[in-house]
Structures are given as C-alpha cells and as structure tokens.
Amino acid sequence: MDIRPDHELHQRRKKSNVMLGLVLGGFVVLVFAITVVKMLGGQNLEAFDHSVRPQLTEASQ
Amino acid sequence: MSDVTATDYSQEAQFDDYFALLKPRVMSLVVFTAAVGLLVAPIGVNPVIGFASILFIAVGAGASGALNMWWDADIDEVMKRTQTRPVPAGRITPRNAMILGLWLSVISVGMLGLTANWFAAGFLAFTIFFYAVVYTMWLKRSTPQNIVIGGASGAFPPMIGWAVATGGVSIESLLMFALIFIWTPPHFWSLALFMNEDYSKAGVPMLTVTHGKRITRRQIMRYTVLLVLVSLLTAFTSIGGPVYFITALALNALFLRGAWGLLKRAEAAAEADNYADERRFFKLSLVYLAGHFGALLLEATLRGLDLSPAIWLHLV
C-alpha cells in the first residue's frame, strides 16, 4: 500500500483525529480552569512581592 | 457471552462510532437529572466545578454504556432495536469497547473526586459497577426483575449531583432517586409490551416474556400508584413547592389514566392497532420524568430569585 500524505486513508482518518484533538484540548482547558478555581478558593490570588503586607500577618487571618 | 456468529470487524471505526458507544441519549438524561440534583441542593457550587462535575458524571455514565455494549454484543446483534450499534454492526471490536469503558470509568471517577469530593466520586464508581456488573452481567439475563433493580443505576445521577454540592445524602436526594427508580419499571415495561418479540428472540427474561403481558400490565399499574405517592411527597420537602405540586398533579393524573387504560386493554385490541396506547404511554413516561425534574429546577430558580411563597407545607 502506497501511503502518501494525500492517501485516501488520511482523508478518512482526518475527522477522527481532529475530533480527538479537540476532546483532548478541551480536557486540558477544563483541568486548567478547575485548577484556577481551586487555587483561588473564592478569593484573589496574590503573588509574594518580597515585602510584608498586612494580609500576610497572623492578625489578619 | 455466548458464541456470536462471525462478525466482520474490518470496517474502520469513526469518531462517531466511539461516541455512540457511550449511549448519548442515556447520557443526556443523566446530564439533566444530575444537573437538577446539583442545582436544587441548598449549597451553591462554583459554576466551573459544577460544569466539570456534571461532565465527569456524564462520562462515567458513558463508560458504563460502553461496558454494557461490550458484554451485550450477542444480545444486541439479535434485537432489531440495537442491531446498528457499533459493536454488533462490526465497526468496533468488543475488546476495544471494554478498554474504552474501563479507562473512561477510571478517568471519570478520579476526576470527579479531584474536582468535587470523594464521596460523590465513590458514588459514581458504585453506579458504574451497579450498571455494568449487577445489571448487565448478572440481572439482565437471569431475572424478570432485571429492570426493577437495574433501574437503580439510572436513578443514582441526581443523588450524585446532590452529593457534589453537599457531600452527602438527604431525604430530598433519596426522593429524587425513588422517583426515577419507581418510574423505570412502567417506562421499560410499556416498551417491552410492544417490543416483546425482540426480547424473547434474544432470550432476555423480560417480564412480558416470562409472565406474559397481562401480568406486565398489572405491574405497570402497581408501580404507577407507588410513583404517584413518591412524586407528591417530594412536593412537601425543601426542594418542592407549589409549581412542582401543580405540575406533579397534572402529570400524575395523565400517567395514572394511561396506566389504567393499559390495564383495561385486551390483548387483541392492542395487537389490532399495533400497540398505539402502549407507545403513547411510553412517550408520556418520558414527558413525566422530564416534567418533574424541570419543575424541581424551576422551584430552585424561584427560590434563588426569592419568588417562592413564604408559606408552604414542609413535611420533611
């Protein structure tokens, strides 16, 4: 069987491959979204900026 | 599985075939009831978490569908209703159906645990086990009570949805379970009344095959009466209300009348019009269930908007 890039087999499989790609891509996006929501925990996400902010002290917790 | 006549598996499976393996129509019912279970719960869920949880519950349901099609390939090949499914039609091998089913089970349960909570995930795992092993492998071929007990697996989704939100079980989630659980026998038996030949050909011990249609009609009536009680009781819990109550009253009146009609019907009359009433009752059963869960959702929306009446009788 002569397999060239435009072989009929590739045409037939193209749809399945694209759909599977979309499913996997969607799964990655979903896991990312879940991760962000879980990390935020309903609050703002703040990076450490090398100086003490009131939010970091025990009294504010 | 008994020996199947040589099926030609040389055709190439398309994406749609794998999707069909997940029983999309059953999945849509699962999505709807699980979403209602989640949305009517007293504890709110983050929309992303809620969406993902429903998706993973649907994937879990799809996984059990694939496992069912793997195990039941020999039955599906005989029955007209299921002959075109990807495994009996020879587009997917039973082994591939099994592999897909097992992996989707692991992924859906694991992801639901990480996304929502492990109680809900355990519940989903139990549901998949119940449908694939207890119903498909064991009950379906051995007892006419197959769909009565097997119906539990279809009734768990709203409880899982509720568990995603609350992390537990309550009287409300048990009543939603009971509603689907008791609805399943009249729903499937009315189907069996006009699909009887299919089931007897495949050797599935449906009640219509083992005990005859007369007994089946009587059983449909019995379960319908029980269903009315569960349906109306739900109106007086924290998830019920006047909108649900009125909807339930109307749907139950129709359903009772339908079941009574089937009970009084002579077999000759049913055969004469090709089971028109039975088909109508089957369709009505779909409207019945969708109507109930739709009304529960509407009640939850009204509560969210502070539009539900201040005075409503709550028994539980």
- Rounded Cα distance, B212 and B216, in Å: 6
Contact (CB<8Å) B52/A15: no
Q: Which residue of A has its CA nearest to B107?
A: A27
In this structure, what are the phi and psi dihedrals at residue B88, rounded to the nearest 5 degrees? -60, -30
Higher pLDDT, B160 or B313: B160
Residue B6 has pLDDT above 90, yes or no: no
In this prediction, residue B5 carries a pLDDT of: 55
Element (H, E) at A37: helix A8-40
In this structure, the number of other CB atoms found within 10 A of the CB of residue B163 comes to 28
What are A41's two structure tokens? 């925990």
Contact (CB<8Å) B115/A33: no
* Tens-digit pLDDT profile for residues B291-302: 999 999 999 999
Could you tell me the CA-to-CA distances from B26 to A10, B33, B41 in Å, in that order? 32, 11, 23
* Tens-digit pLDDT profile for residues B75-114: 888 888 888 899 998 899 999 999 999 999 999 999 999 9
> Is B12 near chain A, with CB under 8 Å?
yes
CA distance B50 to chain A (A): 10
Q: Does domain B14-168 have CATH number 1.10.357.140?
A: yes
DSSP B234-249: HTTSTT--HHHHHHHH
B231 contacts: CB under 8 Å, gap ≥ 6: B179, B248, B251, B252, B292
What are B282's two structure tokens? 């089957």
Q: Where are the domains of chain B?
A: 14-168, 170-316
Contact (CB<8Å) B114/A19: no
Above 0.95 for ipTM, yes or no? Answer: no
* Tens-digit pLDDT profile for residues B142-152: 888 888 888 89
In this prediction, residue A1 carries a pLDDT of: 59
> Is B14 near chain A, with CB under 8 Å?
yes
* Tens-digit pLDDT profile for residues B19-51: 999 999 889 999 999 999 999 999 999 999 999
What are A29's two structure tokens? 């996006």
Could you tell me the CA-to-CA distances from B176 to B41, B100, B162, B280 in Å, in that order? 12, 30, 10, 24
